[in-house]
Structure 1
Amino acid sequence: MSASTQPDIIRPYGDTTGDGMVQVSFTLPVPHDKRAEGAALQLAAKMGLEPALLVHAKAMGPDFTFFVVYGSAKHLVDLREVTVVEREFPLLTPTEVNKAIKSRLRRKLVVVGACIGTDAHTVGIDAILNIKGFAGEKGLEYYREVKVVNLGAQVLVPELVERARAEKADAVMVSQVVTQRDAHIHNTTTMSAAFREAYPAGQVPLLVVGGPRFEEGSAARLGVDRIFGRGTTPGEVASYLVHALAPTKGAPAKNAPTKNAPTKGAPSTTKEKA
């Protein structure tokens, strides 16, 4: 079915078109027994799955049970009410990124990256910054006109602010994978507040965060300039940095690019690990 003939109201697909079948998983704080399985089916019914079939139940220690339930959802999806955050900048090649930075900034673009708080998962930040990159694309260390300072994991917010000031960072990139009790939200808002307190108005570096649990469109609420979710590639991030910090003539930049003086003799990449 082509996009032009696609209906506005749809239901999930399982065995047959429009049958509404979905599969959900969850954990209940009860020991695994028949009563626990009945509780899982009761929850499924209250979620709008009817009829619901319990397809998997496994004890998670003595006091918890993990369930997988399969059933038909009553709810409909209205495609007209779906909102999508569209990418507002073109994707550039590494050559185009380097050329844009060199011709428009006339110096290296400085990026400081870290995992903050207690987050020790560097896979995300390394995928964007490390030269080996991600999804077949080389990381920002590969770009000759970008100076990368990777602080690694479990970096305290005051340390990140201090290093960003010392490096005269154009952009600060933070990865947050740990999401228990909304730790990623708390860490991000704390970080953004700290930068706005430490910098004069209008001179705060570009604040970019990434992680699998951030909601699209929540950047303003969290006090940052951009949020990247799962599947983001280094090329997409590099293109955004050019769009925000080294725009074409006449286009507004996030901050005036002259706020940082060129660093003579500085290496193009500084790598530190926590």
Structure 2
Amino acid sequence: MEARGALDIAKRSLQTCGQVFRYAVAHGVIERNPAADVKPGDALKPRKKDHYARLETKELPELLRKIEAYQGSPWTRLALKLMALTFVRTGELIGARWDEFDVEAAEWRIPAERMKMRTPHVVPLSAQALDVVRSLHELRNRSPLLFPGERDHEKPMSNNTILAALKRMGYAGRMTGHGFRGVASTILHEAGFDHAHIELQLAHMERDEVSAAYNFATYLPQRRKMMQWYADHLDALRQGAKVLPFKAA
């Protein structure tokens, strides 16, 4: 698995071996768990970090203004806005389905099968993000997708759509869809938000099957406040207004 580059599967397989051995110990089949002596970092090569092109935070206001004035497809413009506000992964964005959204609760609940970590994820929706969702609803056709493909409405838009739009705005090689995640992480950390809240909202934290059902909603009230602050912050940047600092409760 490691040789073919499936590092996540290799790591999960090692963890599964440990679970099997623990079961065997508990039922008297063996006396000790040999897998306990081996940590994933000891046996497997570390994953090479992907360095996605992203703007410096000082360049963000201009990009936000260009997104607002984007003259291409309205779905593409709204996809860029929602990506900036929620900083989900590109695949999670373009595959968004209407049945994942609860406007009353102001939540976007992405099911485990669509997440990289294969655990459910909750995105608290700011007032600005809800406005984007409502705008998308006005454009809605019969597709179950928020961002249907141009030709086949049963399939999502291409994952190159975001890149193509950024290129059209003059950001080729300088910004990617994934870059919005890095920018958000930098801004939120610099503003003083709790690292754990940021990482959980970025869906970076790995969770095992037992805890996944409980952890996806961890720190939800704090994350809700963080997401609204971030949306207000982006508005201020775009408008050239004074940016208010975050004040911890």
Larger radius of gyration: 1
Structure having the higher helix fraction is 2
Fold agreement, TM-score > 0.5: no
Structure having the higher strand fraction is 1
- What TM-score, normalized by structure 2, do the two folds share? 0.29
